[in-house]
Chains A and B, each alone.
Chain A
Amino acid sequence: MQLLDLPSRRSEAWKWSDLRAAMAGQENVLIGSGELGSEGPIAALAQVMGDAYGPSALEITAPGETFESRITEGDAGQYGTVVVKAGATATLVERLGVSGSRLRPFLPGYSRIEVEPGATLVRVVVQANDVAVGEADAAIVLNEAVVKLGKGATFRQFVLGEGSRLTRIETSVEAGEGAQIEMNGVYLASAKRHVDLTSRVAHAAPGVNTRQLIRGVARKGGRGVFQGKFLVERAGQKTDAAMAHNALLLEEGAEIFAKPELEIYADDVACAHGNTAGQLDEDAVFYLRQRGIPDVDARAMITRAFLIEAVPDWVGDELKAEIEARIDAWLGTPA
């Protein structure tokens, strides 16, 4: 494994998240030998580097179970498979975080997830940095999930991304007939942080319902990336899919890059996408200030409300409270 194996901005899928450039000078963390296969760089990195841990496999049959995995430290990858058996219901919480390794942390993770017919999976990914900014700046966090949904399966995903030197959280879904999909996310890109939420949903069978809402904010020197693709194949008749990405540039010098894509080959579908990137409405800020709320609090209040609209209730009270607290902490407001 070497630097030249990694995708750079010349690769269309990585044009705003130049992994090769981010890793330059840190090639020493690229251990293991292996080739980048067709599965893509995150899968390859996680597998090649994860050999030390070995693959994990999780099979969920009981209803209502919650599993939690953590990838927090060190220069190793993690990969595994998850199967939610027919009719089962499960919550999978994945925490990707840097908590203070002295080594430059490099965290590639890759999972293959299968949700069998009629089963439900709630997946919550919390990428957060509980360390001083300097250390989180250095971390490279890569995560990819490839999700296969059986007939009538439900997949709900929420991702919180606080970013790092480079964070990319990628999800690719292949939906079976009548599957229900919700894929929400919030990203918070402060100075020197890069967060990339990339997703692809293939509607290859009829009657799939997909809702996606991503909200993000960036400050000066921070970069947020959203790449979302809905593919509706010829067999995907009666697909009902809506994608929305809305971002706020909170300061001059903030960067947001977005590429929403619809690629449709079926003729009886309802597909919509909306994409906005703008600044806080100064008239709204003034309205709050006129009522006595200080400028910084007024901005935080409006921004918080904007972000929290993308945090669904189905993540559960506890996670919802945690995510809101992280948003509050990021905005600098007391919870």
Chain B
Amino acid sequence: MLELKNLHAKVVPEDGPAREILKGLSLDVPAGEVHAIMGPNGAGKSTLSYVLTGKDGYEVTAGEAKLDGVNLLDMAPEVRAAKGLFLSFQYPMEIAGVPVMTFVRAAMNSQRKQRGEAEVSAPEFLKLSKIAAAKLRIDPEMLKRPLNVGFSGGEKKRLEIYQMLMIEPRFMILDETDSGLDIDALKVVAEGVNALRGPGRGMLVITHYQRLLDHIKPDRVHILSAGRIVKSGGPELALELEKSGYDQILKSA
């Protein structure tokens, strides 16, 4: 489903020299699977999520990234989104003056329009929203407030997953979704994420810690270091990592 081949990418800051962050990253996430990416700080985890979703300020110098056989790298971010790619941001943005529900409905309809589908009707939207909010234990009043403005870190993460449930993407990247969540919130969020697991969908879960993977069980675990996948394995690799740390694993890789 998601195929990354020998991906090289530079971060290009507005002021300052470009630096190569991804140095030949290859990865294959088949449909229906959840893969975890773990790695030390600076390994390139967030860069990977931004390169795949098309954020400005990154330049792919070699390699390819395909979703369902289609080259992602040539597409505008909104086109990638309409193809079903979703990023749960590590730091969700605050959008002043735009209520959550207004925003999510606009997003859903933009995607549907791009795919040539009919818009979601107001009653249908409200019904879906109610179900998603209940699943994530989100106070419906919160959905009338401007997106993320004044929300706690945990609330913002819940809202990312709320958006995910509403948009029903085909491929999801979760960038450190566990940060800012207490244990109870983590469980709620994980349940929301697990609800979207299915044969036609794939997921890339980026995390520092094992604890998220207790709740979102990955099919494969990859260790990213210095811009490349240096080791891959089953869920047990995450446990091993938690026990012995990156240094140990990287030495043996």
Q: What is the interface of chain A, defined by CB distance below 8 A to chain B?
A: 281-284, 286-295, 297-298, 301-302, 304-306, 308-309
Q: Given the interface contacts A287-B92, A297-B110, A301-B106, does A292 sit within 8 Å of B97 by beta carbon?
A: no
Nearest B residue to A286, CB-CB: B55
Q: Assuming the A-B contacts A302-B98, A306-B97, are A292 and B56 also in contact, with contact meaning beta carbons closer than 8 angstroms in the complex?
A: no
Given contacts A293-B106, A293-B107, contact A288 B76 (CB under 8 A): no
Chain B, residues 72-99, CB within 8 Å of chain A (1/0): the string is 0000111011100011010011111110
Q: A294-B110, A297-B110 are in contact. Are A289 and B76 (CB under 8 A)?
A: yes
| Chain B residue contacts of A291, Cβ below 8 A | 81, 86, 103-104, 107, 110-111, 163, 167
| A305 and B97 form a contact (CB under 8 A) | yes
Q: CB-CB < 8 A to B108: which residues of A?
A: 292
Asked if B114 is at the interface of the complex by the 8 Å CB criterion, the answer is yes
Write the residues of chain B forming the contact surface with A, with a CB cutoff of 8 angstroms.
53-56, 76-78, 80-82, 86-87, 89, 92-98, 103-104, 106-108, 110-111, 114, 146, 163, 167
Q: Which residues of chain B come closer than 8 Å to A308, judged between CB atoms?
A: 97
A-B contact pairs, 6 of them (CB 8 A): A284-B94, A291-B111, A291-B167, A292-B78, A292-B108, A301-B98
> Which of chain A's residues have a CB closer than 8 A to the CB of B93?
281, 283-284, 287
* Docked complex Cα distance between A215 and B199 (Å): 49
A292 with B82, Cβ < 8 A, contacts A282-B56, A286-B55, A301-B106 known: yes
Indicate the member of B56, B95, B146, B163 with the most A CB atoms within 10 Å: B95
A281 shortest CB reach to chain B, Å: 7
Are A292 and B107 in contact, with the CB atoms below 8 A?
yes
Asked whether A288 and B97 contact (CB < 8 A) given A293-B78, A294-B78, the answer is no
Q: Cβ of A298: which chain B residues have Cβ within 8 Å of it?
A: 78
User: A290 to B88, alpha carbons, bound, how many Å?
Assistant: 10
A305 neighbours in B (Cβ, 8 Å)? 95-98, 146
A297 to B77, CA, bound (A): 13
**With A283-B93, A287-B95, A293-B78 already in contact, 18 other A-B pairs whose C-beta atoms are closer than 8 Å:** A287-B93, A289-B54, A290-B55, A290-B80, A290-B86, A290-B87, A290-B89, A291-B104, A291-B107, A291-B110, A291-B167, A292-B81, A292-B82, A293-B106, A298-B78, A301-B103, A302-B98, A308-B97
- Chain B residue contacts of A293, Cβ below 8 A: 78, 106-107, 110
CB distance from A263 to the nearest CB of B (A): 31
Contact B95 A309 (CB under 8 A): no
CB distance from B104 to the nearest CB of A (A): 8
A289 to chain B, nearest CB (A): 4
Residue contact B110 to A292, C-beta cutoff 8 Å: yes
- CA gap between A294 and B114 in the complex, in Å: 10
Cα(A293)–Cα(B78), bound, Å: 6
A309 vs B90: C-alpha distance when bound (angstroms):
28
List the A residue with the shortest CB-CB distance to B111. Answer: A292
Nearest-neighbour CB distance to chain B for A197, whole angstroms, equals 20
A-chain residues with CB within 8 Å of residue B82 when the two chains form the complex? 292
Contact A295 B78 (CB under 8 A): yes
Given contacts A287-B89, A292-B107, A294-B110, is CB(A309)–CB(B97) below 8 Å? yes
Give the interface centre of A283, A294, A297, A306 by most chain B CB atoms within 10 Å.
Answer: A294
Are B95 and A290 neighbours in the complex by a CB distance under 8 Å? no
Q: Which of B81, B96, B106 contacts A290 (CB 8 A)?
A: B81
Q: How far is the CB of A23 from chain B (nearest CB, A)?
A: 38
In the complex, the answer to whether A289 meets B78 with C-beta atoms within 8 Å is yes
Q: Which residues of A contact B95 (CB under 8 A)?
A: 284, 287-288, 302, 305
Please name the residue on chain B nearest to A289 by beta carbon. B77
Contacts of A306 in B (CB 8 A): 96-97
Q: Which residues of B contact A281 (CB under 8 A)?
A: 93
Cβ–Cβ < 8 Å partners of B54 in chain A: 289-290
Max count, chain B CB within 10 A of own CB: residue among A284, A291, A292, A309:
A292
Name the residue on A nearest B114 (C-beta): A292
* B77 CB → nearest A CB, Å: 4
Q: How far is the CB of A205 from chain B (nearest CB, A)?
A: 35
Cross-chain contact of A309 among B56, B96, B103, B106 (Cβ < 8 A): B96
B181 to chain A, nearest CB (A): 20
Could you say which residues of chain B place their CB within 8 Å of the CB of A284?
93-95
Name which residue of chain A comes closest to B112, CB basis.
A292
B32 to chain A, nearest CB (A): 23
| Chain A, Cβ-Cβ closest to B88 | A290
Question: Shortest beta-carbon distance, A104 to chain B, in Å?
Answer: 38
Q: Indicate the member of A281, A290, A293, A309 with the most B CB atoms within 10 Å.
A: A290
B58 → chain A, closest Cβ, in Å?
11
Most A CB atoms within 10 A — which of B55, B78, B89, B103? B78
Chain A residues contacting B104 (CB-CB under 8 Å) are: 291
